[in-house]
Structure 1
Amino acid sequence: MIYHDMGFADAGDRGSVDATKKLTIMGIPTLKLMFDRRKRASKTKEGAIELRIGYDRKKKYATTGVRVFPREWRNGYIVHRLDAAELQRTLDVYVANARKIINDLMERGEFDMDSIVAQINGRQKKDAAKNVVKERFLLDYFRERAEIRKYGRSSDSCERYERFLRWFEEWDGMRFFSDINEANILAMDKTLSARGMKPYSKWNNYHRFLNSFILDANDDGLMQGNPYKKLNIRKEKSSGGLGKYLTREEFARIERLNPPTAYLKHARDLFVFQTYTCLSYTDLADFDAQKIKTVKGRQMYVGQRGKTKQEFMFLVLKPAMAILKQYNGRLPIMSNVKYNAYLKIIAVMCNIDKPISSHWARHTGATMLLNGGAGMEIVSKVLGHSSTKITREVYAKLLDETVGDAMEKFEERLLQG
């Protein structure tokens, strides 16, 4: 049990056991801030900070409403938190108000240990109600913001918000705005890592949402600062499509696979169709065969990306058209979650040691186009990028390798000639 002496002695006597005894003998109440009196705190559970009032060999405890982890309480002060100074001021004001209440009661001869806690807490609550807005639960605020952020977005994007909120509630590592600090965000990151998640997946599916809600909370005046600015949470976004595509031989294995169930066959067919069209999952789900138009004898599809509203177009290649005909122009769309789960099974069946997902099809298709000699402008138009700059950034390293392979083959021909 750790406590911080807040007695009525002068500065020299503060914290001294002898001073506490002397003050008690003199009949003057002593105040001490005590942490985790009931010894319930742990590395994952906060402990309460209480104010102990000592007088005439009696002790009473008043709750301050402040809770911290053991590592955040040192020598009677709050440390290692972004809001440490704010919480410390809360404690200082609480103790100062308690001291004033006790002094007033003693001057009037109305001091009573049996009712002192009720009087302190009753007065403190009234004072706080005038100046402080009751702290809200994070999850309630996040849900409100999610409803606003989901407006007008694709069903897949909406599901991502819901998935994050379900996980955040289950994790239960942060409940109030005061819980948003570097330590808790790192604890969150470690929890996600323990589940085997890669940096990109952790950021894109979890940290990104928490960060967006923190930014909203700053705009709404509910908190100040963003702990993410001081943390180095790996995103691995610069790798883009590189490493998230299948080789031509790996893709051929999936094409040749004879899935044992209808669900796996549907997932395989969707992946093959995605690869030959370079569609994202959102655009795949919105695919409308009626938009296919015959232009100079070719079957062309023109659409608008659900994510960016950017126009894209592509030639419906024969393998993609064959899949469409199998399903009479209506693809066997399933939820992205189920789709990705089936793709993991398909990868195992094809001896592909890669964590493939629906987005891998888009990257695989773009990679095959680039390796096949398609120009950057063409690939950019197929992908629905707003400029070739985006395409170049995503596939920059891949292009470097392609250029190297091409020049190596050119060199071989020169030597043979």
Structure 2
Amino acid sequence: MLKENVTVIFDRKKQVEKRGSGKVELRIYLGRTERKYISLGDFPAEKWEKFASSPQVKAERRKCEQIVGAMELLGNEMTIATFDAYYYGAEQRPTFISSPKKIAPTKYKVKVQPSINLIEYMKEHIEAEDISEGTRKHKQCTLDALKRFGKIQKLTDLTSNNLVAFDEWLHDGTRSDVGIHTYHKHLKKYSHLLYIEGKIGVDPYTQVKFKRGECKEREPLTEAELQKLRKIQLDEKLDKVRDLFVFSAYTGLAYCDVQAFDFEKMTEQQGKLYYIDGSRIKTASKFFTPILGPAMEVLKKYKFVLPKISNQKANDFLHLIETALKLNKPLTFHVARHSFATLALAHDIPIENVSRMLGHKNIRTTQIYAKVLKTTIERHAENLQRAIR
């Protein structure tokens, strides 16, 4: 269980027995060792809990949580001095920080002026942030959606009512719930940043919550379907896309990593197998995965230089292949990665190893990718039955 950054405590210095009352304080955790205490007043033991649940204490606690969150978000030093600069500046809004030299709000510099509109503010930050190009593109999608929505352009437009209207606009049937949550996640970051910088008086995301929704489960290809895909006769264009899909399905690489694959620079041989040792373009996380037989056949076919094709075209052609195969499931390039994860689990590779092969930062993501097949459960159940006789 994660530790809360801000907690309400009573009588830290054990004064109740001596004085009949003790201090109610907020304890703020700043890193592993730093602690900041803010006194909220003296109360008898029988009254402090009621005070601790009062609206004013909740508001004070929420303010401190936002400051700690902003410090983490902006990469500030987690020290009492840094917290105090934010906290005591916050008492005098809208001029949150009296001097920009006290705390650098970001690790990068932007040309944003306090009077600039929200679209320009976000654009400047997105261009300046030290993030992967994939993340930058996703944030640009959020910015483009805001432009099309049209009702949140200026800082004064950033209200809880407009956020609800934006959410309703996003739910037009063309986006998944998880995708919509990503739009909110991006906008929420800049809303929170504006609040911390004192450019808006209230962070509207503290006044409204949006459900994340559930991921739609992608159907991976079974081993039999992968065999069928490998054997089907296709024309030249579809053949190349099929080969790229097969390479992904037997290495676990995502589309962008397949397109960036360099055999000479990214592989090493261990025993009879070659392995790809690289970093994911999307997340920069490391992965180490084998080049299984069908993937090696693809490499040899193209003399170890894979064909190049856009993601959109690849998916368009995969839909044609889906029809040719008479599959009862959508076929997209990302299904190949899911198929690899499911195939690996079906052959008893531990999920921790599958996670490393895919370059996931946590196993929860791998659990979404990999589907445990009924046949795997049945086989393990039979083994268990034999073991307990």
TM-score interval w.r.t. the shorter chain? Answer: 0.5 to 0.7
1:153 equivalent in structure 2 = 132
2:220 equivalent in structure 1 = 245
1:282 equivalent in structure 2 = 256
Indicate the SS of the match to 1:301: strand
Q: What amino acid does structure 2 have at the position aligned with 1:214?
A: S
Indicate the SS of the match to 2:278: strand
CA contact (8 A) 2:273 2:292 kept: no
Question: Residue 137 of structure 1: which of 103, 106, 117 is its match?
Answer: 117
Q: What amino acid does structure 2 have at the position aligned with 1:336?
A: N
Question: Residue 334 of structure 1: which of 305, 309, 334 is its match?
Answer: 309
Residue 408 (structure 1) shift: 4.2
CA contact (8 A) 1:211 1:228 kept: no
Residue 319 (structure 1) shift: 0.8
Tell whether 2:303 aligns with 1:323.
no
2:333 equivalent in structure 1 = 358
- Shift of the 214–316 alpha-carbon distance from structure 1 to 2, 3 Å rule, reads same
Tell whether 2:199 aligns with 1:217.
no
Q: What amino acid does structure 1 have at the position aligned with 2:378?
A: D
CA deviation digits over 1:315-370, x for unaligned, max 9?
A: 21121111112222222233334433443443344333544433322121011110
Tell whether 2:144 aligns with 1:171.
no
CA contact (8 A) 1:174 1:184 kept: yes
CA contact (8 A) 1:312 1:384 kept: yes
Q: What amino acid does structure 1 have at the position aligned with 2:121?
A: Y
Tell whether 2:163 aligns with 1:189.
no
Larger radius of gyration: 1
CA contact (8 A) 2:146 2:153 kept: no
Structure 1, unaligned stretches of length 5 or more?
1-132
Question: Residue 406 of structure 1: which of 379, 382, 389 is its match?
Answer: 379
Structure 2, unaligned stretches of length 5 or more?
1-112
Q: CA RMSD in A?
A: 3.4
CA contact (8 A) 2:230 2:246 kept: yes
CA deviation digits over 1:108-167, x for unaligned, max 9?
A: xxxxxxxxxxxxxxxxxxxxxxxxx97532221121121023x4513x333333333333
Residue 402 (structure 1) shift: 6.7
- Shift of the 190–254 alpha-carbon distance from structure 1 to 2, 3 Å rule, reads farther
Map 1:2-41 to 2 at 5 A.
none
2:23 equivalent in structure 1 = none
- Shift of the 326–392 alpha-carbon distance from structure 1 to 2, 3 Å rule, reads closer
Tell whether 2:365 aligns with 1:385.
no
Residue 260 (structure 1) shift: 4.0
Over the matched positions of the two proteins, sequence identity in percent amounts to: 27
Residue 286 (structure 1) shift: 2.4
Tell whether 2:239 aligns with 1:265.
yes
Indicate the SS of the match to 1:329: coil
Q: What amino acid does structure 1 have at the position aligned with 2:127?
A: E
Separation of aligned partners in 2, 1:344 and 1:163? 24
- Shift of the 344–230 alpha-carbon distance from structure 1 to 2, 3 Å rule, reads farther
CA contact (8 A) 2:151 2:162 kept: yes
Q: What amino acid does structure 2 have at the position aligned with 1:276?
A: Y
